[in-house]
Homo-oligomer: A and B are copies of this chain.
Amino acid sequence: MLIAPKKNQYALRAIFELAKQQGKGPTKVSDIAKAQSIPVRFLEVILNQLKGSGLLEAKRGFYGGYLLVREPDKITVGDIFQFMEGRKASVSCVTCDSESDCPFHGDCVFSKMWNRVKDAVFTVFNETTIQDLIESEKKQTKVI
């Protein structure tokens, strides 16, 4: 049961990391990569794409890097995943790749269930903000 491909999870972690660094000026890709153990080159590609979401901005050159342009409590996990999914032609029925592809002409018994599942998943995503995750981490940290 794969719900989000690694790429999307990297996107989430990157934004999570940016949120933690907020107020400290731009954060370099290499720093984000290190903090979240993400392959740098790959992350470069992902962050570049994420610019299109309007959630973050890039600054080049010395002291360059990425920074969030929206408050962490206004960014939901759903925002991020929806954007990442949107890049690759979203799917109406979860079962089939397209309606024309569906042997039951887009009207199968299962599509209703799949939509309920999709809704359930995005309900969780939409009610989880980056701020929530940050606070959750603070509580979780064990001071061994």
Report A's interface with B, CB cutoff 8 A.
1-4, 9, 12-13, 16, 36-37, 77, 81, 85, 91, 94-95, 103, 107, 109-110, 112-114, 116-118, 120-121, 123-125, 128, 133-134, 136-137, 140
| Contact partner, A113, options B77, B112, B114, B134, Cβ 8 Å | B77
Shortest beta-carbon distance from A20 to chain B in Å: 11
Contacts A3-B94, A9-B95 given; indicate if A133 touches B110 (C-beta within 8 A).
yes
Mostly, the A contact residues are helix
* Minimum CB distance partner of A104 in chain B: B37
The answer to whether B124 and A113 have CB atoms under 8 Å apart is yes
Shortest beta-carbon distance from A96 to chain B in Å: 9
